[in-house]
Structure 1
Amino acid sequence: MWKVFGTKYRNCDGLSRRNFLELGAPLLGLGLADMLAAGATAADQPMLAKPTRPKSLIVFWTHGGMSQQDTYDMKPEAPAEYRGMYRPVKTTVPGIVVGERFALQSQVMQHISLVRSVHHENG
């Protein structure tokens, strides 16, 4: 269970790996300075530093946040009562539009993987 602004959300039992590392690093005496120094040492030794591809993932999980019609699944051709209140913005990828609140993300959309195939039977 975790809290955001005092509101409790129960998504799973236990800690995630990221939470464990966030909690464990200070307890082991690994501060930000130590981690940055280790990164600088690896950069100074080019034989040890291997170029890697980005392996990051950002999941937007908004409890009661903006709907898909206002963010990444715009329906500009839908009737006014169904489409969102925000205007669509063209992205760097032809055929993909996002809500006007994501104007900066629209400029780097070629680097973003957009998943629209998630389906469930709830609701």
Structure 2
Amino acid sequence: MDYSDISVSLEINHSVFSTFVTVTFTNNSDQNDCKIPKWFLAENGLEDNLFEIVDSENNQIEYIGKFVKRGRIRESDLISIQPKESISARIRLNKYYKLPLITNNLKIRFFVLYEIESNYISFK
């Protein structure tokens, strides 16, 4: 399975008391389905530190959410994205990261490294 066909984009929205990120996974392939772990969509809330967040002084923002220890990823753990399709999830970052009061200067990127079927899936 080739994960180079998947791209990830982030849209960040700030409100008075919260910072939200919408993460979108796009399958850029013309022919093949691509699969990603279901927990990347955070349907049950974040279960791992999926984002690297730094402030305006390049200080790492602490992840304060839960960590779910997982075994080897199984087929039932994956969600399929059809060719040229996208799926998105909206996540309230304040719930999972120790964000500063002023959040408009944060740098946020989706960053994970998982082993799937002896291949590594890496989004940087």
Measured against the shorter chain, the TM-score band is under 0.3
State the TM-score, normalized to the length of structure 2.
0.20
**Greater relative CO (CA pairs within 8 A, separation 6+):** 2
- Greater helix content: 1
State the TM-score, normalized to the length of structure 1.
0.20
